[in-house]
Structure 1
């Protein structure tokens, strides 16, 4: 288990929200990471340059944080096989749900999209159920 840090969590949420708003204002696009990453796979999306910059920022930001003196302490409490299986299941859900948690949960709900609200409620319900089953049943 990781320690809950309300200030850092709040700051992280603000930065995620700010990046989504800035992307919508500047490019008129939704910050759904699945679509952003998908646009970088062959054949390249016409908008591949801003998608590459957005993804580079998401990857480099933690490195810059550590370089500036911050610490990143995390623990992955599951095996590599569980991560791979979870990734495959998530990929299937993203395909059938027409988007990912960032696209639906952050951007879609902020736009009051009914489809995004239903999608977010669905994946949150299954996240709670899966966590309960893995930690308390299995």
Structure 2
């Protein structure tokens, strides 16, 4: 199956973000769950509609974030029927999952920032490296 014969768009129908405590603990585990499909897959004239739910929960319970909506897949009708069959057999094509994850992760990151939570995924920190010369002096001293 080729993702070039179809297009994927993602619609939001529900957004919920709730901070349960005032102070965020230093250690926080984040659990992200994606349910696709989260309901009945519907083949319409304009395309295939696949409902989804993305939920973020923390441990200890500090916040809950839920994003719901519909992934709309449009394109060739024979391709859409094949995708519908794959989804109903729990084999969601990777290009659909990737599109949803990029969209949903961005929304969850925005909501978590607005609630004053640390990013759900640690931001990589690159430690600056100071090259040492053979003499043991920093490179800016000659």
Compute the TM-score of the two structures, normalised by the length of structure 1.
0.25
Compare the two structures and name the one with the higher strand fraction. 2
Compute the TM-score of the two structures, normalised by the length of structure 2.
0.25
| Greater Rg by CA | 2
Compare the two structures and name the one with the higher helix fraction. 1
